[in-house]
Amino acid sequence: MTNYQRTESLLKAISKRLSSRSDCRKVEFIVDIGVHDSTSILFDPDTYVFKDSHHRKDIDSYRIVDFILMKNMPEVIWGRDNQGYLSVDTTMFSRGIFKYELAYNGKKRRWVRL
């Protein structure tokens, strides 16, 4: 899998997970892959998800990026840093800042590289 394909797969998995949530409908998200921190993937605004519909306690919630990486791409994870964030091999992704923005009519969204 190439860097571009892995990045595209990560962004699609994030948008797929968040598209059905009513609290995330008109929100524009920003994903920072290796630009400000070379060993992590930052997501703004910080969004938490549960692993499934049966486990809904606070202790079962994960940051969206951590959940997607652990579930779909465990080969890029190095471990956790001091703040509890996953340390990731960002050389396996296309570096950049990506924004999940609304289209002009407000009905569709897409990922745009900034």
Look at the chain and report how many structural domains it folds into. 1
| pLDDT for the residue numbered 97 | 95
Q: For the segment 49-102, what is each residue's pLDDT rounded down to a tens digit?
A: 887 778 778 777 888 888 899 888 888 888 887 777 788 888 899 999 999 988
Give the pLDDT confidence score for residue 27 in this predicted structure. 84
Predicted TM-score (pTM) of this structure:
0.85
Q: Distance between CA atoms of 74 and 67, rounded to whole angstroms?
A: 10
**Residue 6: band (very low, low, confident or very high) from pLDDT cuts 50, 70, 90:** very high
Which residues are bridge partners to 49 per DSSP? 62
HSE value, Cβ hemisphere, 13 Å, CA-based, for 49: 24
pLDDT in tens, 14-57: 988 888 787 877 788 999 998 888 888 888 888 888 877 787 78
Task: Give, in order, the Cα–Cα distances in Å from 106 to each of 2, 25, 72.
Answer: 32, 10, 29
**pLDDT grade for 8, boundaries at 50, 70 and 90:** very high
Q: Range of 55's domain?
A: 3-113
Taken as a whole, the chain contains a residue count of 114
